Amino acid sequence: MKRRTHVSKHAEQALTDSTYAQYIVNSTDDKGQAISTDFKDITDLRALFSDTDKTPNGPDAPLTFEIGFGMGGSLIEMAKADPDRNFVGIEVHEPGIGKCAFMAGEENLTNLKIIDGDAIGLMQQLPENHIDRVQLYFPDPWQKKRHYKRRFVSPKRMQIVTKVLKTGGWFHTATDWEHYAFWMLEVLDHFEGLTNTAGKGNFTPRPAFRPLTKFEKRGIDRGHGVWDLIYSKN
């Protein structure tokens, strides 16, 4: 669902200043203005890193794809912490896209690209066995029963995710909604082609590479739970 709310000064700067256009893949001009959701030409995420002068890791480096990175804070932290890995984030929230691009520029990152658009639509046009890790952190839980069909983790959507994962690659998700956590556990434990790395029926402790966000820490301080799940492709 396309969303645009208040855009901060820094986010607006990144959306309009050519300095940050190197991070936002599907902009309509060389200044990054009027970001387009038309990504029909993006059929290879690794090719986004083929210019080794700007992205020295090159296209063959391990590749992580994050779905719905929000304002981008944790994605930036991961890209900083693992400079030999390439990261691609996709988001529909333009203020978040701008903020993430601004932070990437402030950190002079060379291993991050940002796409504006729908993750499922993009993955449908990517090659098989293409991505090392797909991560989905704190997705909308769609709490009302009539909205369960909108939840990202479903057998139909996981077929698309599994297709683009390399053999041995990971799908990693985390949520602070207990009902959705057990929903995902049920779906994923019975999904052919994926194996729960913590053992069937188990959640995994938060891995060190997933940053603890301010929102998450506040929830934990209030006694809220957080559940991580990591599945590998058979």
Q: Which active-site residues does the annotation give? A: 140
Strand ranges, E, within the chain: 63-67, 86-91, 112-116, 131-137, 165-175, 194-196, 227-233
Structure tokens at 89: 């984030």
**Whole-number Å distance between alpha carbons of 152 and 149:** 8
Considering all CA atoms of the chain, what is the largest pairwise distance in Å, rounded to the nearest integer? 50
N- to C-terminal Cα distance for the chain? 32
Structure tokens at 76: 């930036």
